[in-house]
Structure 1
Amino acid sequence: MFSRLWVAAALYAVALSAPTYPYSTGAAERSAEMGVLSEYFQMLASKVQAGKNMAEAPVCDLSKAVMPVASTTPLPPPSAGLTLKHVAIGRGTQNYTCGTDASAAPFAVGAMATLYNSTCVASTYPDLLSVLPNVALQFDLTDVNQASLSPTNLLISGHHYFQNLTTPTFNLDTAAMDIGFAPCSKNNSVPAPAGSPQGQGGVGHGSVAWLKLIAEDGATGDLEEVYRVNTAGGNPPATCAGMPAAFEVQYAAEYWFFKKA
């Protein structure tokens, strides 16, 4: 009985809850989308079953969390002297504009996302964390301030937005958590690995790049570097043909926040 109780508690943050926003439109007709969700729930069920036979509960030890590395062209590692402070799943939109030239590529004008606390998932169930961005992408985004991330119970730890076209910003000072505030600049970028999600239900134009960001003046909480990895969706079409003057593309990603040791 004891083991069952702690397993339920340990996995509560990623367990099935009543969805607070629905599957993306037409999900039932798209086998790729339903396959992503089926894989997630099978993985979750297997961990609950395995946990029943464990003698001790997993510990939320950030020193055991290992950030994903792109296989062919990895991002530079965190700078010497930094330690992991927080991990979040970001769920929101990449934003673009188009001019009058239909043959031109859409112009990126920033992003907006809600960040959901995934820190203990990163340290105890990294394989489960790795599927969460694509799983979260399969649910329509109807409210960027949704209290928890469907289909999980991960709670909000902050928000991501752009102060201007070149300053991605992370506000992780919330009523529930006091992690810090970080306006950033891009330090490095690599393409999302081959096989990354195309978009909801396997339909879209691919996943946005993985990034290393450096905190700028005004950062708090000793935050120094931020990584965007394991991206799902977010890329625009190659040209503006048929696109409106402004549009959004839904995406999700893991964000890893590093602080001074």
Structure 2
Amino acid sequence: MFVQTLVTLFALLPFVLSAPAASTASTSSVDLKSLSSIQRSNFPDIASKIPRNCPVGNFSVPLNGSAGLSVPSGQTVSNIAVGRGIQNYTCTSGTYASTGALANLFDVSCLYTLTSGFIDPITISGLLPKMAFSALSFPDAGKLPIAIHHEFVATPGSSTPGAISPEFFTGTDKVILSKVASANAPTDPTTNVPWLQLAALDGQGTLSRSVFRLNTFKGQPPTSCTTEGEQLSVQYASMYFFTK
């Protein structure tokens, strides 16, 4: 079902771009019969043609009532990206403990602005991680330009041995953050990693003041392990909302 809806979304983009400003078009105006040949493998090629770096300050972070997550007062959305990566774990005392993540983030800001008024942003947020997971396998980015890289680095100024923190960086800017809140994924929390709210550490970059990891898809490890020190990487995808 999500594949057909996403096909509809991508098919709508040319119509939106050419429609008059006062248009009241809807997805029902799109001729979907010609889309029968579009497959999941075509999605990266289609997505590579979508514009990037559109202003998104008028959009809200779709927290969907997740307990404990909230946008700090005065902050607005500065970028929206879909991430495709791996969650890393190490077997510790019979369970897999998180040791960070690696991901490629793809700018989808214009997908939201171009479909504003036509498709509910919450629908887009729920579909894109599933599409990214289906179409790509980290670290392969296909034909899509990577807007932001995600990794974990040693926590600046920490006296705790081995402490690490999430970092997001571009060619010109970065931000290192700490986790301030998390919430179980609303669906399949044993399969999908939690939703997160991250806050920038003082003096550690200006890329954003907060980052929200939402609409997660996959990424959870098995519930137990037997080989102490065994390392495991689990593929995942999610939405990332940056605020300033």
Q: Deviations over 1:214-249 (max 9, x none)?
A: 101333336211111111111111111589811110
**Where does the alignment leave 5 or more consecutive residues of structure 1 unmatched?**
1-34, 150-154, 197-204
SS of residue in 1 equivalent to 2:110: helix
* Aligned residue among 123, 134, 154 for 1:138: 134
Q: Which amino acid aligns with 1:188?
A: A
Deviation, 1:48, is: 4.3
Q: Would the aligned equivalents of 1:66 and 1:123 in 2 still touch at CA under 8 Å? A: no
Q: Distance in 1 between matches of 2:109 and 2:101?
A: 22
Deviation, 1:123, is: 3.4
Q: Distance in 1 between matches of 2:61 and 2:7?
A: 23
Report the equivalent of 1:211.
196
**Where does the alignment leave 5 or more consecutive residues of structure 2 unmatched?**
24-53, 116-120, 155-162
What is the TM-score when the length of structure 2 is the normalising length?
0.71
Alpha-carbon distance change, 218 to 235 in structure 1, aligned in 2, over 3 angstroms: same
SS of residue in 2 equivalent to 1:183: strand
Q: Would the aligned equivalents of 1:63 and 1:123 in 2 still touch at CA under 8 Å? A: no
1:170 aligns with 2:168: yes
* Aligned residue among 61, 64, 89 for 1:70: 64
Report the equivalent of 1:5.
none
Matches within 5 A, 1:74-89: 74-89=67-82
Q: Which amino acid aligns with 1:143?
A: P
Q: Distance in 2 between matches of 1:167 and 1:215?
A: 10
Q: Distance in 2 between matches of 1:52 and 1:87?
A: 20
Q: Distance in 2 between matches of 1:162 and 1:170?
A: 9
> Any runs of at least 4 consecutive aligned residues in structure 1 with deviations exceeding 4 A, and if so which?
241-244
The count of aligned residue pairs is 201
Q: Would the aligned equivalents of 1:90 and 1:113 in 2 still touch at CA under 8 Å? A: yes
Report the equivalent of 2:10.
44
What is the TM-score when the length of structure 1 is the normalising length?
0.67
* Aligned residue among 44, 50, 55 for 2:20: 55
Report the equivalent of 1:117.
107
Deviation, 1:78, is: 1.8
Alpha-carbon distance change, 122 to 52 in structure 1, aligned in 2, over 3 angstroms: closer
Q: Would the aligned equivalents of 2:129 and 2:239 in 1 still touch at CA under 8 Å? A: yes
